[in-house]
Structure 1
Amino acid sequence: MFRKSLADVIRGIRSCRDPEAAEKYIRDVLSECRQECQSQDMDVKTAAVLKLAYLQMFGHDISWASFHILEVMSSSKFGQKRVGYLAAMQSFGQDTDVLMLTTNLLKKDLGSRNHLEVALAISGISNIVSPSLARDLSEDLIKMMNHSRPYVRKKAVLVMYKIFLQFPEALRNSFPRLREKLEDAQLSVVSATVNVICELAKKHPKNYLPLAPQLFNLLTSSSNNWMLIKIIKLFSSLAPIEPRLKSKLTPPITNLIQTTTAMSLLYECINCIVSGGMLGKDDEQLATMCVSKLRMFFEETDQNLKFVGLLAMTKIVQIHPVLVAQNIDVILECVDDADLSIRQRAVELVVFVVNPESLFDIVKKLMLQLIPQSREQVLPEQYRLEVVRRVLDMCSRDMYANVTNFEWYVAVLVDLVKISEGVKLAGDEIGAELLNVTVRVRNVVPYATTSAAKLIADRDIFAKSPGVLKGAGWIVGEYARYLDSPYDVLDCMLALEPNTSTAEIEAVYIQAIPKIYAVYAGSSVAPWTESRTREVLHLTERVVAFLEKYSVSMDIEVQERSAEFLELFRLVAQAVKERVDDESTDLSPPMLITEAMTSMFTLWELNPVSAKAQRKIPIPDGLDLDEQFHDPVVYSESEDEDEIMMREELLRQQEQLSRQGINSSIKSDGKRSTLVVKDGQTLASPDTSEDEDERERSRQKRREQQKDDPFYILESSKIASKKPRSPSSSPEQPMKDEELDIDSIPIMKLEIATLDSAVKTSKKKKRRQVVQPVEIIKEETFGDDVADDSDDERPGRPTSSGNAARTVSSRRGKGILRVDARGLEGYDIEDAGSDDEGRKEVERFKAEMQAARNAAAAKAAEEAKAARKLLKAKKEKKDKKDKKDKKDKKTKVKIAEPEPAAEPQAGAAEPTASAESAADAVAEAAPKPKKEVEKVAIATDDGEVKTIKIKKKKEKSVATID
């Protein structure tokens, strides 16, 4: 009576004022539960398990009570059994130790006459099922699918999905039974069966094509909306692999679209038509009906309807963009919706409905979202980046088909840089797009070059969005002839300091500076006067100083470019300085600037090249890209060590002299290194004259080896030739047991109601201005393959379908309910060749189990037979004993004192035999005591007295002589 109940525990936890007190109280309750679980009273143990199940919901581990939970599960009382199953469903997992002990218990409960216990066991199996349990219990659960109670049949059908996940082999055995349940008398059982088949069809729909006639019958006869939704989802999986289903399914689904008032069913019908491939480009009337019905979703106040409506329109717009574009007004309203998820879907959709007339307004509307009205209205960074990407996508779509004014587009890109500050990756993608449109559209090059120069001169851009400077730097370098003031641009670029930007921007700047310098210094417009000569010399010295800072950069690209141009500009500086020192009045610019550098950068104009052009170039026969150009050179470690020691000794001597204030230098003549001092004193290196000739020959040999050693070439093991992989396509074979009876499904007459007021007409079109045609340069590629060139793969920016691909990849694996159904992918019910080994293993296991059962049954039968024989023998012996005891009671044996023995005669024989025979006689005549020992004295023939011990052992009397 003093034990806490569950209600007492809940009240005690709620009465705790702080988390520390609650934690202490829970620890005390757990300690009490440990003691109560040891009790022999099942009521006490059940109450303890119930409290543990409640505490487990707070995150406390109760795995230590697994065996006690199993004991409560095996109780004969239903109330206690239910508590045990509840605790097991909450705490048991596939790694629970006692899980293997539950197999017989579950089999027993599944065979119970009480249907509530059967249902309870099925519920428990659905939560604790493991591969071994699924294999052992699958046959029992298949039998439960024919139970007399609909409640049990429904639960048995539903639990089979969990069995299939752990043991896919059960799908073959239970498929006929699942097919029967589609025609069950109870609607709940049919609905459960459709639900299971719908989930299974998502992984391998080909298995369930034979069920199409039955499912079609349910589709046309059922009035349960939830079951209709599942059937339509199932048909959306089956229709893509069976084209004949389109003509069968379109009339009834269209009828549901026109008649149903349930928005969830209406959406699933439209989604089935689109996802199932039933909506073609010729089905304009059907598409118009679907779009008009979807417009009703945006008139509702439910935000979920707007979301799913945008999803459906995103699928329809791929086939009928004009019909969706007629509803641009409701789509733009969703762009300003308060729900961020609805905004994202609307921004994704608006890319496909834009046209040359609406592009300006839509871009303006999206750019206004990037400008925060206040600090509270700042949108998330990910959404702002998505808006920038969609603006770039809709403008560059179909090779800039919607852009009529490219100067406007360049201005939009510059504005996007300024209003998207703080958004990572936005600057990189805008810079890549600015570069792309400049290279492709020749008419916009002067304006784009001027805009890029302004971006480089803007210090705020460098601090807030430096990623765009990579594209801007390339533009001002390649098209430097269009710059208004090349000197100002050079001045801004030479102000760049090391380690203040990325290595990519530094490399672009180093490459662009010589191009701008060549245009500025080699220009023939300005006369080459003395003042201009000094100005160019000063600028050249600044460039040399700039490149010297980057010639020691840790980035190999920056270091290599700066080192190459540094030597060039040193020669230029020397040439310009000669002009300054020349006293002649006729000054002329150095040809190194006017001709050499100018022809180096402006001889040919660059064109856009397809990103896939290189992969189309065939590899010549006999060329192995993995083969090394030259064998690695083996160096002698002993020679290196000697040289290192000699060099260290010379440096040590030089350091000693430097401390004394003596200037020194080291000279080497190839054979002997000498330390030369300022005053003529020499200090020789350590004695290295031993084997000097041999060392010289080794050094000469090593120099010859190093002369042709391409040490600067990387190993080719990291360069793998990319060969196109042929897609491994395994054609699906039809069902082996039966032919697909799709033709038996009747074709219904399709009547689509007239839609007078469903679709709102768009506003009166404005007169379109005449736009001058703009030439857009196409990409250069190799070969005549045009299919790959249509893919707009510009570096630094994902395609419009990038988000969809990322979404699909992120949804793979486990679902939201932690259900891992990957084991059912590609599992064919009829194609048994792929898993013969697994089935043979299962059959072998079943045979071993059956043999073990037979052996155990035979052994039990033999033991029972032996036990019966033993009982019968004991009974017979007992009857004989009782008869003998009655007979012995009538016969009394008296043993008197022996008379004095006579003197033994000489040569008399030993009395051994006589004594033994006498003992036998006494043993037969004497009554047999029960587990007692009697001593009897007898006299032998020679007069000696002997004592005999008589005891009973295993129903026999044994006499021994002391």
Structure 2
Amino acid sequence: MLGYPTHFGQMECMKLLAQPRFIDKRIGYLGAMMLLDERSEVHLLVTNSLKNDLSGSSQFVSGLALCTIGSICSEEMCRDLATDVERLIRSSNTYINKKAVLCAWRMIRKVPDLMEVFIPCSRNLFNEKNHGVLIAAMMLVTEMCERSPDVLDHFRKFVPNLGRILKHLMSGSSPDHEVAGITDPFLQVKILRLLRVLGKDDAKASEEINDILAQVATNTTTGKNAGHAILYETVLTIMEIPSESGLRILAVNILGRFLLQTDNNIRYVALNTLLRTVAVDYQAVQRHRATVVDCLKDPDVSIKRRAIELSFALINQTNIVSMTTEILIFLETAEKEFKAVCASKMYIAAERYSPSSDWHLDTMITVLRLAGDDVPHEVVSSIIQLISSHSELQHYAVGALFRAAAADRSNAQPLLQVAFWTIGEFGDLLLVPRDEEKSRIDESSVLALFEAVLPCSLSALPTKLYALNALAKLAARFGSTGDRIAALIQVHQSAFHVELQQRSIEFAQLLAQPQKSAYLERMPVITHNSLHESAAAAAAVGEATPDEHTNLLGESAPAAAAAHSGAAMDDLLGLMGGVAPSASAAPVARLGGGLDDLLGGLGLGGETVLSVPVAAAAPIGDGFDLLDGFVVVPPATAACGSIALNTKGIEGLVFVESDWCGDACSLKLVVSNNNPVPVTNFVAQIAVTKVSNGIKGGPQGVLGITGESLRPQSSQPDPIPGAFQLRMHIRATYELNGHTHTIDGECSTFHGLA
């Protein structure tokens, strides 16, 4: 009724059910099956009419009642009428018998507890001659066995009975039940399904079933769908139970013959079943590898999808080269939806079975070229990790990727991204030809690739970001192309995209520093990650490249490892346990906001989660901070600052203003407002610990700074007229957007502390 209310007809159905005539009852039961459900108030009133009609003299009326129970039965109705249905199952009338068994099947699915009511009468059903009753009986017994292990053990002793029925169907001829020359394929399929349930995880029952299955597999004729259905169910049963190896090979051969059929439905079923069978008998499926590979050429998308999954499942150490060749041929003309899947699975297979690192890299370069922009970011990061972790591969990789990128500059963006990362890290190796390479690559040729890709409108944004990072690194590795590199970087300072513009400005400032080589050292080896963990790897080498930024700040590999070690951070800071830092410890600044803050989000977090060297946090050049953007801090003092405050957009840096004299020196506090709105009524209180000498000129070791206003995105230097050592505490209050805020900070590490 399309969801419309049906109360107007429910009572009319009840009136018709009470009529003695069959035609009235038939219409009434038909209406009840369509208009009533378990939530209907009239539903309970139907139970009495059903009970009366189940005991009626007319088999057709009883049949209507059984159909209605199976259609709309509720839990209460099932419990009330279970004994009546069980009585009809024992009936000698096959018409009633079949409908009662099917009704019992529906009732068990609704109320599994009723199984014990129907188990005794179900045992006698195996001796039935009527095929309709037998089919219904197979469904009922299968349902009960799947729901209860005890019932399963009870019916396992009937395996010989099922075998006799199946053999009789194969050997006998019954024109009334014959379909395409096969006697009742529907009943045979139901028996095979029940045998699969009875033989699972039971060696004794499976031993009896194996003989039956062998006869079915060898005696069933193919060529018609009826025969294919029986053979398919036979294969599923063989693979599900503890069967003999020879029988499993026979089952796989049946599926192999299915692959040779012209019917796409049969071929799809065969591929789908082989994919499930690989885990059971890998070697048997391997024998049909050539047929599976041929399915990659099928025009049907569903068949190709299953064939490519099965092809990757069949790859091993011995056939990796030949299977890869076939898959690359398929990838060259594959639809877009297959390219991402093939790229991911190809990397996993090559990582596991590749004969050598060079072959692995060459294969993935081909995949990058053929799959184009459909290669997932996870594959890009995994290839980068492969190159980073294999030092013997780096010289070959940078040359191979440079040539591949030069040959295809627009269609395969992931290929360009991998190439740019590799050239940026190992570009100096390009200038040293390998023994087998006859032609030498010069710096000008390398820069020509960047000059062709960066201005191109077809180049994706991530590709341009990779290229800028690579150019910054090449500036420290190449000697004669510095002006061309600087020009390529500076041209993007007015780029439309903020990330591209920011990197261009930062790198331009960075390259102007005399110590740029220290900032642009090679990255430490990227730790191994599987393709399933590639989200983390993508964060390390992908579009945002936070590790790249960290390395650009000047960390060498050992320094980077120390800076990211939790234990090392605690020891360097000396704050958690109240231990003063050692004299040999490197100055460390505390940065809030986590790793993401390295890309410009400082001050958003509150607490400290990452430590980097102080020199990394210092502004570079003319007041430009690689981390925070433009901060007005004098360059002369920026190189020796320690962070004392970094909370809610307020940052306080302490600088050594004069040389140390004995155990005292003069410091300067620079407070920066990184919020987009001004800060007013700024009050700062600065105190030293009792172990210090105190602040000269301050009352009780405390210095107050009041009444200051900080413009948005600006800093205000406040000289501290005194000298002290070791640990300093700062508390500041201010108003922002009409609300008063209080922040605390601490500084315990100062440059020049002896």
Task: Report the TM-score, using the length of structure 1 for normalisation.
Answer: 0.48
1:260 matched to 2:207: no
Q: Which residue pairs with 1:608 in the alignment? A: 528
Task: Find the aligned partners of 2:733 and 2:327 in 1 and give their Cα distance.
Answer: 71
Please identify which structure carries the higher strand content.
2
Contact 2:259/2:270 (8 A) holds in 1? yes
Distance 1:385 1:77, change over 3 A: farther
Shift of 1:352: 3.7
Contact 1:122/1:156 (8 A) holds in 2? yes
Q: 1:157 aligns with which of 101, 105, 125?
A: 101
Unaligned runs of 5+ in 2: 170-184, 222-226, 431-440, 537-565, 568-575, 577-605, 610-644, 649-674, 683-703, 712-729, 749-754
Q: 1:438 aligns with which of 377, 384, 387?
A: 387
Contact 1:314/1:349 (8 A) holds in 2? yes
Q: Which residue pairs with 2:272 in the alignment? A: 311
Q: How does 1:767-786 map to 2 (within 5 A)?
A: none
Quick check: which has more Rg, 1 or 2?
1
Distance 1:162 1:569, change over 3 A: same
Q: Which residue pairs with 1:812 in the alignment? A: none
Q: Which residue pairs with 2:163 in the alignment? A: 219
Distance 1:499 1:405, change over 3 A: closer
Distance 1:119 1:404, change over 3 A: farther
Q: 2:241 aligns with which of 276, 292, 304?
A: 276
Distance 1:68 1:386, change over 3 A: farther
Number of corresponding residues: 544
Shift of 1:359: 5.2
| CA deviation map 1:240-267 (0-9, x unaligned) | 4323333332222223222232332222
Tell me the percent identity.
Answer: 19
1:573 matched to 2:517: no
1:168 matched to 2:206: no
Q: 1:134 aligns with which of 47, 57, 78?
A: 78
Distance 1:291 1:671, change over 3 A: closer
SS across alignment from 1:707: strand
1:290 matched to 2:251: yes
Q: Which residue pairs with 2:337 in the alignment? A: 382
Shift of 1:443: 5.4
| CA deviation map 1:220-279 (0-9, x unaligned) | 343344334323323323434323333332222223222232332222222212122425
Q: Once superposed, what is the RMSD of the aligned Cα atoms?
A: 5.0
Task: Find the aligned partners of 1:437 and 1:358 in 2 and give their Cα distance.
Answer: 22
Distance 1:254 1:393, change over 3 A: farther
Q: Which residue pairs with 2:745 in the alignment? A: 707
Shift of 1:121: 1.0
Contact 1:229/1:268 (8 A) holds in 2? yes
Task: Find the aligned partners of 1:473 and 1:127 in 2 and give their Cα distance.
Answer: 66
Q: Which residue pairs with 1:117 in the alignment? A: 61
Q: Which residue pairs with 1:351 in the alignment? A: 312
Shift of 1:569: 5.8
Contact 2:732/2:742 (8 A) holds in 1? no
Shift of 1:472: 4.1
Task: Find the aligned partners of 2:346 and 2:332 in 1 and give their Cα distance.
Answer: 15
Shift of 1:119: 0.8
| CA deviation map 1:313-333 (0-9, x unaligned) | 334443544443333343233
Q: 1:519 aligns with which of 477, 482, 494?
A: 477
Contact 1:157/1:196 (8 A) holds in 2? yes
Contact 1:298/1:306 (8 A) holds in 2? yes
Task: Find the aligned partners of 2:95 and 2:266 in 1 and give their Cα distance.
Answer: 34
Q: Which residue pairs with 2:716 in the alignment? A: none
Distance 1:544 1:388, change over 3 A: closer
Q: How does 1:352-501 map to 2 (within 5 A)?
A: 352-354=313-315, 362-370=323-331, 381-389=336-344, 391-392=346-347, 394-396=349-351, 398-400=352-354, 405-406=359-360, 408-418=362-372, 423=374, 426-428=375-377, 430-432=379-381, 434-435=383-384, 437-439=386-388, 444-453=393-402, 461=410, 466-467=413-414, 469-483=416-430, 484=441
Contact 2:510/2:516 (8 A) holds in 1? no
Distance 1:188 1:429, change over 3 A: same
Q: 2:211 aligns with which of 227, 230, 251?
A: 251
Shift of 1:369: 4.3
Q: Which residue pairs with 2:25 in the alignment? A: 81
Flag the structure with more relative contact order, 1 or 2, with Cα contacts below 8 A and sequence separation at least 6.
Answer: 1
Shift of 1:90: 3.2
| CA deviation map 1:89-123 (0-9, x unaligned) | 33433344432322222222222121111111111
Task: Find the aligned partners of 2:680 and 2:317 in 1 and give their Cα distance.
Answer: 75
Task: Find the aligned partners of 1:634 and 1:574 in 2 and give their Cα distance.
Answer: 30
Unaligned runs of 5+ in 1: 1-55, 373-378, 522-531, 576-591, 636-642, 651-668, 677-695, 711-962
Contact 1:432/1:468 (8 A) holds in 2? no
Contact 1:413/1:430 (8 A) holds in 2? no
Task: Find the aligned partners of 2:494 and 2:746 in 1 and give their Cα distance.
Answer: 30
Worse-matched range after superposition: 343-352 or 317-326: 317-326
Task: Find the aligned partners of 1:238 and 1:403 in 2 and give their Cα distance.
Answer: 50
| CA deviation map 1:526-553 (0-9, x unaligned) | xxxxxx5xx5366447647757979965
State the one-letter code of the partner of 1:140: D
Distance 1:440 1:307, change over 3 A: farther
State the one-letter code of the partner of 1:344: R
Contact 1:89/1:127 (8 A) holds in 2? yes
Task: Find the aligned partners of 1:404 and 1:308 in 2 and give their Cα distance.
Answer: 38
Contact 1:73/1:85 (8 A) holds in 2? yes
Task: Find the aligned partners of 1:551 and 1:706 in 2 and give their Cα distance.
Answer: 37
Q: Which residue pairs with 1:341 in the alignment? A: 302
Task: Find the aligned partners of 1:698 and 1:401 in 2 and give their Cα distance.
Answer: 63
Task: Find the aligned partners of 2:233 and 2:316 in 1 and give their Cα distance.
Answer: 30
Contact 1:414/1:451 (8 A) holds in 2? no
State the one-letter code of the partner of 1:601: R
Task: Find the aligned partners of 2:161 and 2:296 in 1 and give their Cα distance.
Answer: 42
Distance 1:77 1:299, change over 3 A: same
Task: Find the aligned partners of 2:456 and 2:299 in 1 and give their Cα distance.
Answer: 45
Q: Which residue pairs with 1:588 in the alignment? A: none
State the one-letter code of the partner of 1:294: L
SS across alignment from 2:19: coil
| CA deviation map 1:775-818 (0-9, x unaligned) | xxxxxxxxxxxxxxxxxxxxxxxxxxxxxxxxxxxxxxxxxxxx
Shift of 1:608: 2.9
Distance 1:267 1:571, change over 3 A: closer
Task: Find the aligned partners of 1:94 and 1:675 in 2 and give their Cα distance.
Answer: 71
1:232 matched to 2:179: no
Task: Report the TM-score, using the length of structure 2 for normalisation.
Answer: 0.60
Contact 1:316/1:324 (8 A) holds in 2? yes
